[in-house]
């Protein structure tokens, strides 16, 4: 466990139980959300890579148009 996490846990442990549980729920929810996002992006990463390769190829053969931004 990192020193920063230990420091946070020490401070949290001094709070009333209700607040400790609320913080624990927030942390667990955040971890679960991160896990779900990672799983979703893992499958889309290959598709994004394919699209990027196509865009680079089109750029190299001058099939792209300037957006004039």
Q: Note the pLDDT tens digit of each residue in 20-68.
A: 999 999 999 999 999 988 887 777 878 888 899 999 999 999 888 888 8
Q: Using the 8-state DSSP alphabet, how is residue 15 labeled?
A: S
- The ranges assigned to domains in the chain are 12-60
pLDDT digits 0-9 by tens, 5-24: 999 999 999 999 999 999 99
pLDDT value of residue 63? 86
What the block records as the tokens of 61 is 């053969």
Helices 3-13 & 17-60 angle (0-180, nearest 10): 140
pLDDT value of residue 13? 98
Task: Give the largest CA-CA distance in the chain.
Answer: 65
**Is pTM beyond 0.75 here?**
no
Q: Phi and psi at residue 21, in whole multiples of 5°?
A: -65, -40
């Amino acid at each position: 466990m990192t020193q920063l996490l230990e420091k946070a846990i020490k401070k949290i442990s001094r709070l009333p139980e209700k607040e400790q549980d609320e913080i624990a729920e927030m942390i667990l929810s955040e971890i679960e959300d991160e896990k779900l996002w990672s799983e979703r992006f893992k499958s889309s990463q290959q598709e994004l890579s394919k699209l990027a390769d196509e865009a680079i190829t089109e750029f190299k053969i001058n099939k792209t148009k300037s957006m004039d931004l």
